[in-house]
Chains A and B, each alone.
Chain A
Amino acid sequence: MTEAVILGVGMHPWGKWGKPFVTYGITAAQNALADAGISWLDVDFVSGAETVRNGYPGYVSAATFAQALGWNGTRVATSYAACASGATALEAARAQIRSGRSQVALVIGADTTPKGFLAPNAGDRPDDPDWLRFRFLGATNPAFFAMYARRRMALYGDTAQHFAAVRVKSATAGLNNPNARYRKAMTIEEVLASPVVSNPLHLLEICATSDGAAAVILTSEEFARGRREDLVRVAAVSTATPRFPSMNIELPDIASDSAAVVALPSESFRQSLATSAYEEAGVSPSDVDVAEVYDLSSAMELDWYEDLQLCARGDGAKLVESGDTALGGRIPVNPSGGLACFGEAVPAQALAQVCELTWQLRGQASGRQVDGARVGITANQGLFGHGSSVILTR
C-alpha cells in the first residue's frame, strides 16, 4: 500500500475581512499548489471541509473550489465534522491515495465567520441540542470552556495566573507568524486586566472567530518521488468518537451520560483521540518534538498537554511554569501561536495545524522554528463528538 505524503501546504492569513470564503480558499489552494510545484490540472481529488455559515456553496465546498479553480473533471467530496472537519477531509483524501484511486489530492477548508458568539441555526429547533442549550440555559461556548477551566482549578490547583501564562506564551510564539491574525506581545497583567467573559476566563483567553483558509496537497509516495527532498508523511489520522458513558459535559449537550449502569471507560474522549493516533503511527508521547493543539481557551491548552500524555494528569500548569511548552522548551506546543493568535476559522483550523507542523518538520517555520523537529502531533475537538489527532513525521 502506498503511503500519503504532503507535497505542498498553503494558507490565506487569518483575519476578519468579510470577503466570500471562496476568495480565501483560492489563495490557500494556489499557495499550496505552488509550494508543491504542481498545476491544478494535476489534481484528481478535491477533499473539502464544509463551512456551515456561507450557504449552499459552503455545504458543497469541494465542488465550489473545483469550479472556482476551473472544472478539471476531478472527483470531489465534502466533509463536515465541526472543528475536526479539516482532519476528516484529510482522512478522506488519505484513504483515496492509499487505496490507489487518487494520486494527487487538494485538501482544503476556508471560512468567513460572523462577529460575536457562535450561535445555533435560526428558527425554533427543540430537537437540536445546540438550540436547546442557548434557548433555555444561555450556555455559550465560552461558558463550557470556563466550566472546564474552573474544574481544573478545583482538581489540580491551577490559578488564573497559570491560564494567563498560557496566553502570554502563545502571544510570544505568534509574533513572527505571518499567517496569524493577532501578533502582539502581552503580559500576564494585561491578560488578567481584560474583561471577564465567563468566570474565570478573560476576553484575551477565549478564542475569537476568524476568516481564513488552509490547503494541503496530499499525494502518493510514487507521485512525490523526485519532486522534493523534505517530504512529510501523514503517519496517523485519528477521528475517534466518544465511548459510552462519558461524564464530561461535551458541547453542545446540557447533560452527560449516566455512569450508574456502565463503568466509565479507561480513557477520556480527548485522550483516546491521541492514543489511537499514537498507536497508528507507532510512536509514543516521548517521541513528539512539537504539538499544535486546539486552545479554544487558555486553560484548555493545559487539558491537551495531559490528553496528549506530554505530562501526567494534573501537571499541565507545571509545563507552562517551567517553560517546557514554550519555544525553546522541551516540547513546544502551539509554536504557530495557536487559536489564541489565529481565532477559529472552523473548516480551515485542523488543516492550519497540519500546515504549521509541515513547516516545522521541514525546518521552514521562520522565527518560530522548533529545532530538529521530526515528529509532530495535532489535536482538536469540536461539537457533537467530533475530534481529531494527526501525527506527521519526517
Chain B
Amino acid sequence: MPELAPDQASEGAPASAIATWFDDGPQPALRALQCTVCGNKVFPPRALICPNPACSSTDFESVHLGRLGTLWSFTDAQYAPPPPYPRTEGPWEPFPLLAVEITDDKMIVLGQAAPGVGLEDLTVGMPMELSVGSLTDGTAVWNWKPAGGTS
C-alpha cells in the first residue's frame, strides 16, 4: 500500500483531533499506522511503539484500513451524551452507534451510522462500508453504512 502524505485533511474543514484519521473521496477509508517489522496495524493512527508485545518496533508507515466489514454489534443513544459531545438545539435526535469488524484487518472500529440509517436497517453480521459524515457542530467524522446501499 502506498505511503500517504502526513496530513491530507482537506483545507478549510474545521480542524479536529481526528481530521487526519480518515480520508474522504469516492472511496473513503480510515488511516492506520502499520508496523514495518511485524505488519500489525493500529487505529487510531498513533503509536509510540508497536502494541504487539512480541515486537518492539517504533517504525510505522501510514496506511489505509479496509473500508469493508461486517456489523459486529450496534445500539443507539436515546439520551444526549454529556459534554464534550456537541450540544444540539431543540429536541434530542437519537443516533445509531455501530461496531464494525473490518474484514481485511480483523479489527473492530466504532462509528456513528451514516445519515438515514436507522436501527431497523441493521442486522448483526451484515456487510458494511465506511463513509464520511459530520456531527451537529460541523466536525467531520467517519460513519458506517450498509454496503452497496445509497444512504
Task: Specify which chain A residues have a CB less than 8 angstroms from the CB of B124 in the assembled complex.
Answer: 150-151, 153-155
Known contacts: A117-B82, A120-B84, A136-B135. The answer to whether A259 contacts B106 by CB under 8 A is: yes
Interface assignment of B145: CB less than 8 Å from any CB of chain A = no
Interface assignment of A1: CB less than 8 Å from any CB of chain B = no
Interface of chain B residues 104 through 151 with chain A (CB within 8 A): 104-112, 119, 123-125, 135, 139, 141
B52 near A249: Cβ-Cβ < 8 Å: no
Closest chain B residue to A258, Cβ basis: B107
Task: Specify which chain A residues have a CB less than 8 angstroms from the CB of B18 in the assembled complex.
Answer: 132, 136
Name the contact of A258 in the complex, choosing from B40, B44, B123 (C-beta under 8 A). B40
A260 near B104: Cβ-Cβ < 8 Å: yes
Task: Specify which chain B residues have a CB less than 8 angstroms from the CB of A186 in the assembled complex.
Answer: none
Interface assignment of A75: CB less than 8 Å from any CB of chain B = no
Name the contact of A154 in the complex, choosing from B16, B73, B76, B77 (C-beta under 8 A). B73
Task: Specify which chain A residues have a CB less than 8 angstroms from the CB of B54 in the assembled complex.
Answer: 262
Task: Specify which chain A residues have a CB less than 8 angstroms from the CB of B106 in the assembled complex.
Answer: 247, 258-260
Q: How far is the CB of B142 from chain A (nearest CB, A)?
A: 9
Name the contact of A151 in the complex, choosing from B17, B72, B95 (C-beta under 8 A). B72
Interface assignment of A119: CB less than 8 Å from any CB of chain B = yes
The interface bits of chain A over 118-132 (1 if a CB of B lies within 8 angstroms of the residue's CB, else 0) are: 011000101000011
A117 to B77 CA separation, bound complex (whole angstroms): 12
A139 near B81: Cβ-Cβ < 8 Å: yes
A136 near B16: Cβ-Cβ < 8 Å: yes
Interface residues of chain B: helix, strand, loop or mixed (majority): loop
Known contacts: A147-B99, A249-B110. The answer to whether A138 contacts B85 by CB under 8 A is: yes
A199 near B78: Cβ-Cβ < 8 Å: yes
A116 to B85 CA separation, bound complex (whole angstroms): 14
A368 to B82 CA separation, bound complex (whole angstroms): 37
Chain B, interface size category, equals 35 or more
B84 near A198: Cβ-Cβ < 8 Å: no
Name the contact of A196 in the complex, choosing from B51, B78, B111, B112 (C-beta under 8 A). B78
Closest chain B residue to A147, Cβ basis: B73
Name the contact of A195 in the complex, choosing from B51, B74, B78, B81 (C-beta under 8 A). B78
A136 to B132 CA separation, bound complex (whole angstroms): 13
Interface assignment of B29: CB less than 8 Å from any CB of chain A = no
Known contacts: A199-B78, A199-B119. The answer to whether A137 contacts B110 by CB under 8 A is: yes
A146 to B79 CA separation, bound complex (whole angstroms): 13
Interface assignment of B68: CB less than 8 Å from any CB of chain A = no
Interface assignment of B4: CB less than 8 Å from any CB of chain A = no
A136 to B18 CA separation, bound complex (whole angstroms): 8
A143 near B77: Cβ-Cβ < 8 Å: yes
Known contacts: A147-B74, A198-B75. The answer to whether A138 contacts B107 by CB under 8 A is: no
Known contacts: A139-B97, A259-B107. The answer to whether A116 contacts B52 by CB under 8 A is: no
5 contacts between A and B (CB under 8 A): A143-B75, A147-B97, A197-B78, A258-B106, A259-B106
10 further contact pairs, Cβ within 8 A, besides A137-B97, A247-B106: A119-B82, A120-B84, A133-B110, A136-B18, A138-B112, A154-B124, A249-B99, A255-B107, A260-B39, A261-B41
Q: What are the 7 tightest A-B residue pairs by CB atom distance, in nearest-first order?
A: A126-B17, A154-B124, A146-B75, A138-B81, A119-B82, A259-B106, A147-B73
